[in-house]
Amino acid sequence: MSPSGPLEHLASVVAALECAPLDADALSQLVDDELLALTTLGASARRLLDARTALVAGELARRSHPELGHTGLAQRLGHRTVEELMRVTTGESRRDVVTAVNAGRLLVAPEVVAPELVSPGQGGALQPAPSHLGPAISAVRDGIHSTAALEAIRAGLGEPTESITADALLAACERLVEAAGVLDVDRLHRLARHLREDLDSDAIADRERAQRHARSFRLVALPDGMTRATWLLDPESAVQVRELVDRAVSPKRRTVHFSNPDDAEKAARIADDERTPEQYASDAMLHLLVSGADVDSSMMLGTGAPSVRVLVTARDLARASGSGSGSLEAAVGQPDGVALSLPTVHRLLCEGTHTPILIGSTGQPLDVGRTQRLFTARQRIALSARDGGCRWPGCERPPSWCEAHHVDHWKRDGGNTDVDAGILLCRHHHLLLHDQSWSIVKAGPSADFHLLPPTSVDPLQHPRPMPSRSREWRRALAS
């Protein structure tokens, strides 16, 4: 098959699907058996396409291996990781991209690695596929099971240990491949986990250590501005947290009666509160976190209540009608900040735990020093308010993860350390800019920055816009 073969085949599949009409009326005329058959056929087509997409993702990952540094494909094109490259290229969600890349690495990996399989020039050293996942990998390659099923089996079974051999996991994998024909991905993952636990029944201490090591807390920003907290707890920690939550919401469920008059009065007040049990539990946990920040500072840098920056244009803050708006400064996972009504802005500023930053009509922050010799803390606040985080196209690193870059280099160009001549870049993109001959140009007083790629990436060096992620900066310019 010629190198263009895979490209031609997928292009023909896409063309065929584009020609197939999306006809709801035609579907309504099908009998039940035909509709179910169409559902099965569509799932089969998706499995086959997902496997090929994952294979491509695996090859992208190989050519973007971390050991290649800035010469790897993803970093050469200006992306931190292959997952970031895939997200920008495909527009898919982070979860789908991670699943595809994880499966792809397994699909492109050989069963046994020989010295000559270390790829020269275009990729990192090939790592062998885990031998116990062989049946699941083959099932995906043959289009029998999906890449999601492969990820469920991989995550559920885990890796061999001193007490669990690869042969034992291989036997479990064979059972799971057979069961995958009648189980959805979630049930398949649970079965894989249960099989792992059955194998590990004589090593409870090992399992407890692994569960303890796996604990994590993550905040995931959702497209509608809400944030989902994902808290993975080991059993011991979960018992403590569950007890606190149950204690807070038990009056809402009216499952506990109190003999102490003070407790009974408090329980009645909680029970009559208009918040749902879930809302009350959320508020209770937040209150515990904020209150605990001053009780024990050993787990964090600094003490006191959370310090939050509220961005608002001077024009909106001066309005008496309350019709304006502001926003919270961008944070990890919340690349564009969150819009706030003007009454909420005033309330947060009155609480005293939020720092107001006024944005002028040119988009530059007001009342913050702008002409110091070095980028001071106040100038960093100004840059954070204006840029909203790393301004490299496609990057979502928040201001707290960024460094201040001189658009006119301090040493080479004799540039000034002024806010209007600085820009925020995360460390990865800051290093990439200096090491790989990228450059930034600025036009106009509104900090209209453009990124110029090196000729090795774009021979014509087409300028790439570097828009600010600060909502208030964009609103100030539009007013």
Closest residue by Cα to residue 20 from 31, 28, 12, 30:
12
Q: What is the mean pLDDT of residues 141-146?
A: 87
The pLDDT tens digits of the residues spanning 50-90 come to: 888 888 998 999 899 888 888 889 988 888 889 999 988 88
List strands edge to edge, sheet with 338-341. 338-341, 325-328, 308-313, 354-359
In this predicted structure, the answer to whether residue 156 has a pLDDT above a threshold of 70 is yes
Lowest mean pLDDT among 254-258, 306-310, 383-387, 458-462: 254-258
DSSP secondary structure of 369-390: ----SS--HHHHHHHHHHH-S-
448 vs 229 pLDDT, higher one: 229
Look at the chain and count its residues: 479
Tokens of 446: 């509104």
Contact 94, 103 (CB under 8 A): no
End-to-end CA distance of the chain: 58
In this predicted structure, the answer to whether residue 334 has a pLDDT above a threshold of 70 is no
Closest residue by Cα to residue 399 from 266, 476, 283, 307:
307
Domain residue ranges in the chain: 28-209, 227-295, 307-479
Q: Report the 10 Å Cβ neighbour count for 33.
A: 8
For residues 270 and 267, what is the distance between their CA atoms, to the nearest angstrom?
A: 5
**pLDDT value at position 372?**
42
